Amino acid sequence: MSANPLLHIKDAYYFEVPRAWYPSDRETREDFPPHYIRLDPDYQNWEADRQYDGLAKLGDLEGLPAKEALLSQYEAWRHEASNFAAPFDRFLEESSTQAWFQKQLCLGKYSRKLKDETDEQWSLRQGASEQLISEWRTVKAEAENLEAYSKTPGWSPEKIAQYNEELNGKIIIPQPFGKLRNNYEKESGFCISKFMILEVLVAAILIVVFKKLADRITHGRVPKGKLWNMFEAFLLFIRNDIARPAIGAHDADKFVPILWTMFMFILGCNLLGMLPWLGAPTGSFSVTLAMAAVTFGTGLWFGSKKFGFVGYWKNQVPHMELPTVIAIFIVPMLFLIEVLGLLIKHMVLGIRLLANMVAGHLVLLAIMGIAVSAGAAAAAGSDSSYWIPAVISVLGSAIFSCLELFVAFLQAYVFTFLSALFIGAAVHHH
């Protein structure tokens, strides 16, 4: 039902704190999060029984096996590692043993014409599947009913205690706009994850802090204090050492706000990874790819404003004095290469940030693993000098954590500098 959250590299739909700070003391089944109930074997068996009864009422569905045999197959399939806690509907739609069902509903490999089918047979099967799919969706919706399930006998005290033990220290994020499959995957709708909340938190802090700084500057007051002077130093550094060298003194200043925002936002997200129980949002590819998309969109927008939309794309090809006959072949080829390179370098921009942030956490995990292994060996009585690797691990973790702090600043700088280079290339002739 959950994966190992060590170092909080992976995004999740809960926050984790020490167990003593947030113990789970739920008393009844209905007190647990909905996805915990849906993942429980008792609920899944109850739901599977209702889905089977719903399928039995579909007159157009052929070849429905006996209930006991089909549910027995589902039980065996559900206990396979790759299908753990998967519901009955996924068994019917995904299992290789349920071709009879998938073929009639045109699912998976049966969603296209089969080799031994005629055009007429394929057309008939495709037409019949539309009605069956609609009816199957209705069956699933009616079978999944937590309110009806609440009227069945409740969970045993042992099961409630087991789930409480698992939920100790976990603050599940409410999901008003979506439905969770488990603590790490969404089932449908818009689900709010831990990294989303942390990103909003960083953005809110930046807005509050820099609004105060902007108010001071707007009213002609010189920023005083170490904090305000530090922020001003950051701004001057980004303007003088990133924007102007990469974009040019004439155009650079209008891009300073977005570059400054990028730098501070990425830095804030990186630094959150240094705090216990949070994790760095920049360790998620969706976050870093979105930041790279902002860079691409900025270059596309301002490049199109300067050269026109068509002119922007023409500008991707360096100007060359080529004979017409040669240019007919060379220019289209260069255009495809340059456009592909433009997309790849922005994607790599996001991957670079992700890889550097995750790599640091993985190295730190490996160092910490030395102490864990030494402790396990000592507990087994196979090694009495476990304290030596333990001390090395603790010192190594402390030193590497300091390096991680440096990396947080470095990667924010690298991302911002490369973004400035890409934007500069977009608004200047090649």
pLDDT digits (tens, 9 = 90+) for 43-82: 999 999 999 999 998 878 888 899 999 999 999 999 888 8
Phi-psi region for residue 8, left (φ > 0), alpha (ψ -120 to 50) or beta? left
**pTM to 2 decimals?**
0.80
Query: Within this chain, do residues 252 and 117 fall inside the same structural domain, yes or no?
Result: no
| Residue 125 within any structural domain of the chain | yes
- Rounded CA separation 266/116 (Å): 56
Beta bridge partners of 87: none
Q: ∠ at Cα 51 (47, 55), nearest 5°?
A: 170
**219 and 119 share one domain:** no
Beta bridge pairs of residue 14: 172
Does residue 181 sit within a domain? Answer: yes
Indicate the average pLDDT of the chain: 86
Q: Identify the band that residue 382 occupies on the pLDDT scale cut at 50, 70 and 90.
A: low
Which residue range forms the structural domain that includes residue 19? 6-192
Of 172, 192, 212, the residue at which a domain comes to its end is 192
Q: Is the pLDDT of residue 161 over 50?
A: yes
- Residue 430 pLDDT grade (very low, low, confident, very high; cuts 50, 70, 90): low
Q: Which residue has the higher pLDDT, 8 or 303?
A: 303
Whether 15 and 277 have beta carbons less than 8 Å apart is answered as: yes
Is pLDDT of 4 > 50? no
The answer to whether the CB of 404 falls within 8 A of the CB of 368 is: no
Domain co-membership, 275 together with 408: yes
Backbone phi and psi for residue 107, each to the nearest 5 degrees, phi listed first: -110, 150
Distance CA 104, CA 58 (A): 12
Same domain, 146 and 203: no
> Residue 284 has which token pair?
């998620």
Q: How far is residue 300 from each of residues 46, 314, 337, 416, measured CA to CA in Å?
A: 54, 12, 17, 17
Q: Are residues 14 and 68 in the same domain?
A: yes
Q: Give the separation between CA 169 and CA 323, rounded to whole angstroms.
A: 71
Length reported for the chain: 430
Same structural domain for residues 121 and 263? no
- Mean pLDDT, residues 265-285: 87
Here the tokens at position 288 are 């870093």
| Residue 2 pLDDT grade (very low, low, confident, very high; cuts 50, 70, 90) | very low
- Strands (E) in 282-399, as ranges, are none
Q: Are residues 224 and 330 in the same domain?
A: yes
Identify whether the C-beta of residue 390 lies closer than 8 Å to the C-beta of residue 374.
yes
Let me know if residue 99 belongs to a domain.
yes
Q: Are residues 202 and 65 in the same domain?
A: no
What are the backbone dihedrals phi and psi of residue 274, each rounded to the nearest 5 degrees, phi first? Answer: -85, -15
Domain membership of residue 1 (yes or no) is no
Establish if 173 belongs to a structural domain: yes
| Sign of the CA dihedral running 415, 416, 418, 422 | positive
Name 277's Cβ contacts closer than 8 Å, sequence gap at least 6.
8, 15, 16, 17, 18
Amino acid at 260: W
Same domain, 331 and 277: yes
Decide which of 174, 192, 210 is a domain's last residue: 192
- Asked whether the predicted pLDDT for residue 180 surpasses 50, the reply is yes
Question: Collapsing DSSP states into helix, strand and coil, what is residue 179?
Answer: strand
221 and 141 in one domain?
A: no
Q: Is residue 321 part of a domain?
A: yes
How many domains does the chain contain in total? 2
Helix H or strand E segment including 170: strand 170-172
Q: Is the pLDDT of residue 202 over 90?
A: yes
**304 shares a domain with 221:** yes
- Tell me which of 133, 161, 192 is where a domain ends: 192
Sorting pLDDT into bands at 50, 70 and 90, what band is 317?
A: confident
Q: Do 164 and 236 lie in a common domain?
A: no
| Closest to 279 in 3D by CA, of 191, 194, 397 | 194
Residue 44 to residue 195: CA distance in whole angstroms: 30
In the DSSP assignment, the letter for residue 109 is G
CA atoms within 13 A of residue 392's CA, in its CB half-sphere? 14
Q: What is the DSSP string of 246-275?
A: HH-TTTGGGGHHHHHHHHHHHHHHHHHTTS
Measured distance CA(181)–CA(158) in Å, rounded: 24
**Token pair recorded at residue 58:** 């579909």
